[in-house]
Structure 1
Amino acid sequence: MTEKNYRLIWFHHFHKAAGSTMFASAMLNGEIPYPNHQNGNPCDSAGRVIPLWEFGADEIGAFVDHCEANGITFVCTEWGCPDLRLLREDPRVITVSIIRDPFERLVSNYEYDILRGYERICRLPDYYFHHSLGYRQPDYYTRALARGAGVSKTISDVADLAATENFAAFDYVLVLGHTKGFTDMHALLGWPQFAPRTNVKRTLVKSLLRHTIRLEPERLRANYLIAKRYRHDYPEFQGVFNAANVRDLALFERAAASARKNMAT
């Protein structure tokens, strides 16, 4: 790849929004990741994720220079959001992301964690409110995109504006659930091949069979409770969730409206 046509795809991975599928598609289509990485997130020689989201203009430029010199064409950021406005100033970089309905994203994360055994068996409200993980906080998208500006326990108008401006700097955002989304993303990136969905939570039936075969009684119990009891919490809890995630819902609706407009053209 020559300097003239070098391109670095910078994918910001919002948690439980098809990021692993995006990375698999990149690999299937011949993109080159950072030599040491975690699911596309560049790591240093000790295996620690490099905090690219903390980089200023000079560091960002040097990092892209390094990627170009080493033939790296695809990087992810998942645990912090970079300043997309800085990245947009570099003609070598194309920034893309995927988002999904905020409540659907939470439910997906909850069932995935419970059924895989990554989290103790609990109801969705307990999973949501008793945590310290950023991707389970209210207005997760807005907090990530604001990059700390005006963010504390609550989201200020300053944070909302910072998030809106940073979000607008993406070159392309796929809205999960819109049928042309992956087709448009692949067309934009020149990827002819589609990877199968990866890192998907199993259906309750498949999960039940798996845990029966493996004789995992706690996971069997989780399947039963989610199927017979805990899913009944979802409709009522969604109202509580929506009230706590007004900014994220507004951001998502703007993105979805834009996707619907593009599909109509």
Structure 2
Amino acid sequence: MRRLTSTAIATALGATALLVPATAAHADEYETIQTDIGVTAVGPDSATPGEWVTYTLKVTNWGNSAASSIVRLALPTGTTDATYEERPVVTSQVLVNNLPPGETDTLKITANIGSHGNAKKLPASFRVSPGEGDFPLYRDTNPSNDTANIVTENTKEVVGARLSLKGVIRGAQWVGRTHLQKVTITNTGDRPTHEFRLRGSMHPKSKGIVHVKGVQGANGSFHAAGLNYSFPALKPGASRVITLAIRTVKQPGGFGGKYQVGGGRAPLAELDLRG
């Protein structure tokens, strides 16, 4: 029976996870093999994104002729570092070479599982294929067993939009002097916010907002004793920094402001800088 050369197979796969032994055949001597190669798979029932997982595949030749097959991997979105026999799978393909009739080859694929967009299910799919183009590795006589699917439960608790507030006071805290109150808003959740609102009120001994920075693109205003701004959406992990220049009007002691941020699908968060 005539088969593809190792050069032709390697060209079809690109960089592959397996080494292919050479044969004496030539492309112009190639004739299509008819056989039935199928795949089954076992994987984790549950996992947390970022966890290392193992998928165990069994590729079986149910036909009457030996043939090579390509296993195509479709792992959960965000999955990285897939390996087979400690070799990187860089093309989402693994070659099972020259599988005899009635034989089964077991493949263990390890990978750092992705979040699949924080979905509740982390689906993976494995499909055996004769390849594409003018020189398929074989003609499949039973496509019904070509694909195996694994559905893994995502055990990560998905947090929606969540806003946090942190702040510091800098500068001279004396009558007639200007100090700065720096407030940082961060979306610590897994989802973007919608438009959200920041409100602030100054301590009676820390009145006199004279300037606010970091509110570009926001709607709202400030006055001596407080502020009220509506900000555009904030992506997960992103921050907005608002800096208030404050002129103190009474004796030292009791500086700072009280701030609230929320809305846009995010629960209310508070920060009290008053001391």
Q: TM-score range by the shorter chain?
A: under 0.3
Task: Pick 1 or 2: higher relative contact order, CA cutoff 8 A, min separation 6.
Answer: 1
Q: Determine which structure has the larger strand proportion and give its number.
A: 2
Relative to the length of structure 1, the TM-score reads 0.19
Larger Rg computed on CA atoms: 2
Q: Determine which structure has the larger helix proportion and give its number.
A: 1
